[in-house]
Amino acid sequence: MHYVIIGNGVAGINAANSLRNYDDEAKITIISYETEHHFSRTALMYVLCGQLSEQCVEPFERDHYEKMGFKRINDKVSKLDPDANKLTLESGKTVQFDKLLIACGSLPAMYGWPGSELDGVGNFVTWQDLQWLKEKAKTAKKAVVVGGGLIGIETVEVLLLAGIEVTFLVREDFYWPVALNETEGTIIAEHIRHHKVNLRLKTEFAEILGKDGKVIGVKTGDGETINCELVVICVGVRPQTDWLKDSGVALDERGGIIADDNLQTNYDNIFTAGDCAAVMWFNNVRRPEQLWYTGRDQGRIVASNLIGMKKIYKRGTFYNSAKFFDIEYTTAGLVNFKLDGEKNFFSHEEGTYYTVRITYLADNTVVGFNMLGRRWDHRVLVNWVDEKRQLEWVLKHLHEALYDEEFMPTFTLNQKVS
Amino acid sequence: MQNSLMSTYNSPLKSKGMIAWVLSFLLFAFYLLIYFTNIPDSWANFVGLESKWNLYGVLYTISIVAGGLFFINTHGNSRYQKFRTFTLIFFQIIFAFSIPEIMGLFESKGFNFAKFWPLGIDLFNPKYIFEYPLLIIVYTFIGSLIVAPILTLLYGKRWYCSWVCGCGGLAETAGDPFRQLSSKSVKAWKFEQISIHTVLLLAILSTSLVIINWGLHFENSAGEWVTNYATFDLIASKIQGTYQFLVVAMLSGVLGVGLYPLMGSRVWCRFFCPMAALLGLIQKFGRFRITVKDEMCISCGNCSTYCEMGIDVRAYAQTNQDFKRASCVGCGMCAHVCPRGVLRLENKWDFRDTSDKEKRKVFDF
């Protein structure tokens, strides 16, 4: 049996590892053009600032492919012929497969702003972006980062460390409304400004200005001009599926490969996992979910389906974590869904960035947590949401979910209900 | 992000640049001079100290205090890091440096109360330890054989290796800029398992021979300390001498510190220290472990990179496995640098055995 995996990211490599666990004999081929070795995309910022080396962000030793018996092809797939079980590569070579896993990930979203093609405009998602930004960061004095999400703030952070003056354009009224409420967003915004970032909220981005093919500034929606030599656009990612458009593999309106509960596409022997797969979310919507841990999970599960075990990918209660400069963030359950009759218990420890927000319904059932500053055990929080615990009970047991380093004083709650 | 770490791989000193090789050479030269020549005695006299060992003690203490303050300045936002750096500085200044000096003022032989067998291999040498008052003898035996193992069962070997020990003290303070240089390869791990347990066996062998040999000696009518087993006496003192030269001087001093800028600050502790080996074995049965939050790891590699003992922490974190490793000195840096708060040092008897045999095959555990 020849398994071919397109993509060497977290979904692809985990699928390959699991496949090998199930089957010592299987022929496994991984096709990718981005890097020779699997690397952790989430760690690009640390490589840029020098906290980690390029090899540090490779989760496996260099001989992993050899040891596991994976064949690596450094090429880009340009065409899929599902009826002939055939892939055509950019080099012109073809690859036959028995079963195929498409885990080709996503690309930075660009919305065709005028000036996007100028020298000095880019993203911070791929290995190639890292090399590009590393080079640019050596000479740039002023930069504009567009997009108020996680990649945006991480880019701001590393550019600052490189000694660059950064303007951070965020379209929304406060920082990251997808994950934070206004109070939390304001705390983060203050923290961003505290690090001497020129944070501009409620600012639309209109066009990039250039001279002789190079960036000289950006124009905001209000017509204001901000001078800079570097523009990094971090407004999200989209599935990297343009090459599949006429292949017969069914895509959704976002470009995600439609995956059923077994992560199978509309072809029996073609599966998908990771950023490019439109999977069922916790709220029963089918769309791509571009998270690290869902990619890893899907990779492991799709492997059992590739060998024919029929395992169902079931997305449990949502949780995630992040870090905004020095502020850690943990979330679990449904916190920003404006559910019917929801109320929020909110507590902010004075003089700190430590906040606790517990979202609950009219009958006092807790549905979600949003925590800043301290470390929390999301497993405990998720359990409480699943068990439909009452607010009073949760507040009494909250210390059990604390995951701070030793010797950290415990939290104090000063209740504020909104 | 840890501000102090941000430039690690941009700094030639911290990433094996030319300057790191020069520094390593200088450290080698310094240690060779100190251990095997009397030249440093003249330096000591020059600054008004009695011998090269006094000079070495002063320099060692200054390095720990200065390095420790620098460390607290950069990682002091973690209370655990602050706590253990303060204890290291405390034990160096008070226990390793001041108390022996003060004892010297009262005309008694200095004694380091922060050292236990088998790190201080002579502590179980009857000839050496019986020159001390009874209280010190009892302290040493109870400390080495009862208190140290019990504390390790309760808190892990970190109570000694990264809160008290002088070797660990230098590694965690002045040696901290080099922690990322430890090799994370499986090869290095396999070498470590062989080398460190070999040294432990040598330490036990050497100590046993010395004790037996002492027992075979007696005072003759002329008041001389003699033995009827001359060959055994010769072998025992040869082995003792070899251990002193090879392990104490070469491995803990010359190589241990000389390789800081090239192989990280814990070369001695990781590959050779018999105390670390012994406490490590006990640690496997103790409460201390590192807990991993399921499915939260982003495989960034900060934990593995900044593990001075070369443990590939990420391999456990990304496969959701709580773990106990004999070599872990519990410095807590993996948890401290984790950008997602995945790791935590814990003392709890119940161990969630999350090791998965299937995964083991993949990750070569």
In a domain, A276, yes or no: yes
| Residue after which a domain boundary falls, among A233, A256, A289 | A233
How far, in Å, CA of B136 to CA of B128, rounded? 12
Contact by Cβ (8 Å): B93, B65:
yes
A328 interfaces chain B, CB cutoff of 8 Å: yes
- Alpha helices by DSSP H, listed for A307-402, are 378-386, 391-397
With 0-12 / 13-18 / 19 or more C-beta atoms within 10 angstroms meaning exposed / middle / buried, residue B151 is buried
- Token pair for residue B335? 């948890």
How far, in Å, CA of A377 to CA of A399, rounded? 10
Q: What single DSSP character describes residue A223?
A: S
Q: What does the pLDDT read at residue B365?
A: 30
Per-residue pLDDT tens for B299-342? 999 999 999 999 999 999 998 999 999 999 999 999 999 999 99
How far, in Å, CA of A119 to CA of B226, rounded? 87
ipTM of the modeled complex: 0.94
A132 and A224 belong to one structural domain: yes
Contact by Cβ (8 Å): A48, A57:
no
Rounded to 5°, angle at Cα A229 from A227 and A233: 95
A138 and A39 belong to one structural domain: no
Q: What does the pLDDT read at residue B27?
A: 97
Residues of B within 8 A of A67 (CB-CB) are 364
> Peptide bond preceding B133: is omega within 30 degrees of 0, i.e. cis?
no
Which of A341, A415, A410 lies closest to A375 in space, CA to CA? Answer: A410
A293 interfaces chain B, CB cutoff of 8 Å: yes
How far, in Å, CA of A270 to CA of A263, rounded? 9
Q: Do A292 and B299 touch (CB under 8 A)?
A: yes
Q: What value does the mean pLDDT take over residues B339-351?
A: 93
Using DSSP, state whether A280 is helix, strand or coil: strand
Q: What value does the mean pLDDT take over residues B281-305?
A: 96
> Of the ranges A309-318, B133-142, B189-198, which one carries the lowest mean pLDDT score?
A309-318
Report chain B's mean pLDDT, rounded to a whole number.
Answer: 93
Per-residue pLDDT tens for A278-296? 999 877 889 999 999 999 9
Which residue of chain A is at minimal alpha-carbon distance from B293?
A: A377
Which of B291, B295, B296, B294 lies closest to B313 in space, CA to CA? Answer: B291
Report chain A's mean pLDDT, rounded to a whole number.
Answer: 95
Per-residue pLDDT tens for B151-169? 999 999 999 999 999 999 9
A23 interfaces chain B, CB cutoff of 8 Å: no
Residues of B within 8 A of A318 (CB-CB) are none
Using DSSP, state whether A397 is helix, strand or coil: helix
Mark which residues 309-348 of B lie under 8 Å from A by CB: 314-315, 318, 332, 335-336, 339-341, 344-345
Give the confidence band of B280 by pLDDT, cuts at 50, 70, 90. very high
Per-residue pLDDT tens for A184-206? 999 999 999 999 999 999 999 99
Q: What does the pLDDT read at residue B224?
A: 87
Residue B357 pLDDT > 80? no
Q: Do A43 and B301 touch (CB under 8 A)?
A: yes
Q: What does the pLDDT read at residue A99?
A: 97
Residue B344 pLDDT > 70? yes
Boundaries of every domain in chain B: 36-181, 186-269, 287-363
Which residue of chain B is at minimal alpha-carbon distance from A158?
A: B6
Contact by Cβ (8 Å): A162, A136:
no
Give the confidence band of B7 by pLDDT, cuts at 50, 70, 90. confident
Residue B4 pLDDT > 80? no
Strands (E), A265-413: 270-272, 277-280, 286-288, 319-324, 327-333, 343-348, 355-360, 366-372
- Token pair for residue B101? 């000096």
How far, in Å, CA of A356 to CA of A378, rounded? 13
How far, in Å, CA of A290 to CA of A134, rounded? 24
Q: What does the pLDDT read at residue B362?
A: 40
Residue B355 pLDDT > 70? no
B154 interfaces chain A, CB cutoff of 8 Å: no
How far, in Å, CA of B318 to CA of B295, rounded? 7
Residue B204 Cα, gap to closest chain A Cα (Å): 35
Residues of B within 8 A of A17 (CB-CB) are 362
B48 interfaces chain A, CB cutoff of 8 Å: no
Q: What value does the mean pLDDT take over residues A352-375?
A: 96
Contact by Cβ (8 Å): A413, A393:
no
Distances (CA, A) of B149 to A16, A33, B159, B285: 44, 53, 11, 11
Q: Do B9 and A42 touch (CB under 8 A)?
A: no
Residue B190 Cα, gap to closest chain A Cα (Å): 15
Give the confidence band of A338 by pLDDT, cuts at 50, 70, 90. confident
What percent of chain A is predicted at pLDDT more than 90?
Answer: 93
CATH number of A36's domain = 3.50.50.60
Half-sphere exposure of B335 (CA within 13 A, CB side): 25
CB pairs < 8 Å spanning A and B = 124
Which of B296, B298, B315 lies closest to B355 in space, CA to CA? Answer: B315
Task: Strand A214-220: give its sheet, edge to edge.
Answer: A205-211, A214-220, A225-227
B74 interfaces chain A, CB cutoff of 8 Å: no
Using DSSP, state whether A31 is helix, strand or coil: strand
How far, in Å, CA of A5 to CA of A95, rounded? 11
Q: Do B2 and A67 touch (CB under 8 A)?
A: no
- Class of B287-363 per CATH? alpha beta
Q: Residue with structure tokens 């945006």?
A: A152
With 0-12 / 13-18 / 19 or more C-beta atoms within 10 angstroms meaning exposed / middle / buried, residue A285 is exposed
Residues of B within 8 A of A154 (CB-CB) are none
Give the confidence band of B293 by pLDDT, cuts at 50, 70, 90. very high
A323 interfaces chain B, CB cutoff of 8 Å: yes
Residues of B within 8 A of A326 (CB-CB) are 1, 77
Q: What does the pLDDT read at residue B356?
A: 57
Q: Do B1 and A328 touch (CB under 8 A)?
A: no
Give the confidence band of B358 by pLDDT, cuts at 50, 70, 90. very low
Residue A215 Cα, gap to closest chain B Cα (Å): 27
Q: Residue with structure tokens 């963030």?
A: A329
In a domain, A113, yes or no: no
Give the confidence band of B364 by pLDDT, cuts at 50, 70, 90. very low
Which of B364, B306, B295 lies closest to A10 in space, CA to CA? Answer: B295
State the amino acid at position A239 in one-letter form.
Answer: P
Q: What value does the mean pLDDT take over residues A295-317?
A: 93
B78 interfaces chain A, CB cutoff of 8 Å: yes
> Of the ranges A283-287, A410-414, B359-363, which one carries the lowest mean pLDDT score?
B359-363
Q: What value does the mean pLDDT take over residues B206-211?
A: 96
Per-residue pLDDT tens for A59-85? 999 999 999 999 999 999 999 999 999
Give the confidence band of A141 by pLDDT, cuts at 50, 70, 90. very high
Residues of A within 8 A of B300 (CB-CB) are 40, 42-43, 46, 52, 57
Q: Residue with structure tokens 């939390």?
A: A184
Residues of A within 8 A of B9 (CB-CB) are 50-53, 56
Per-residue pLDDT tens for A18-46? 999 999 999 999 999 999 999 999 999 99
Q: Residue with structure tokens 């709220």?
A: A283
What percent of chain B is predicted at pLDDT more than 90?
Answer: 87
Q: What single DSSP character describes residue B5?
A: G
Residue A342 Cα, gap to closest chain B Cα (Å): 27
Give the confidence band of B3 by pLDDT, cuts at 50, 70, 90. low
Q: What does the pLDDT read at residue B360?
A: 43
| Residue after which a domain boundary falls, among A184, A202, A233 | A233
| Residue after which a domain boundary falls, among A283, A306, A329 | A306
In a domain, A380, yes or no: yes
Which of A80, A115, A114, A117 lies closest to A95 in space, CA to CA? Answer: A80
- Token pair for residue A180? 């934070």
Which of B340, B343, B365 is the mutation pick for testing A, counting most A CBs within 10 A?
Answer: B340
How far, in Å, CA of B276 to CA of A415, rounded? 48
Q: What value does the mean pLDDT take over residues B288-308?
A: 96
A58 and A161 belong to one structural domain: no
How far, in Å, CA of B124 to CA of B213, rounded? 13
A36 and A78 belong to one structural domain: yes
Contact by Cβ (8 Å): A298, A331:
no
**Which residue has better confidence, B226 or A380?**
A380
Residue A173 pLDDT > 60? yes
Please report, in angstroms and rounded to a whole number, the separation of the first and last CA atoms in chain B: 30
Residue A337 Cα, gap to closest chain B Cα (Å): 22
Which residue of chain B is at minimal alpha-carbon distance from A62?
A: B185
CB atoms within 10 A of CB B116: 25
Q: Do B345 and A405 touch (CB under 8 A)?
A: yes
Q: Do B293 and A379 touch (CB under 8 A)?
A: yes
CATH number of A335's domain = 3.30.390.30
Contact by Cβ (8 Å): A140, A134:
no
How far, in Å, CA of B114 to CA of B95, rounded? 6
Measure CB to CB from residue A323 to each of B77, B294, B339 and give the nearest one.
Answer: B339
Angle formed by the axes of helices B148-155 and B274-283, nearest 10°? 50
Per-residue pLDDT tens for A257-278? 999 999 999 999 999 999 999 9
Give residue A208's domain range: 121-233
* Beta strands A205-211 and A214-220, pairing class: antiparallel
With 0-12 / 13-18 / 19 or more C-beta atoms within 10 angstroms meaning exposed / middle / buried, residue B266 is buried
Q: How many domains does chain A have?
A: 3
Q: Do A53 and B1 touch (CB under 8 A)?
A: no
Q: Do A292 and B298 touch (CB under 8 A)?
A: yes
Per-residue pLDDT tens for B211-259? 999 999 998 888 888 888 999 999 999 999 999 999 998 999 999 999 9
- Token pair for residue B14? 């911290």
Give the confidence band of B294 by pLDDT, cuts at 50, 70, 90. very high
Q: How far is CA A249 from the centre of its chain?
A: 24
Q: Do B296 and A59 touch (CB under 8 A)?
A: no
Q: Do B302 and A52 touch (CB under 8 A)?
A: yes
A209 and A348 belong to one structural domain: no
In a domain, A71, yes or no: yes
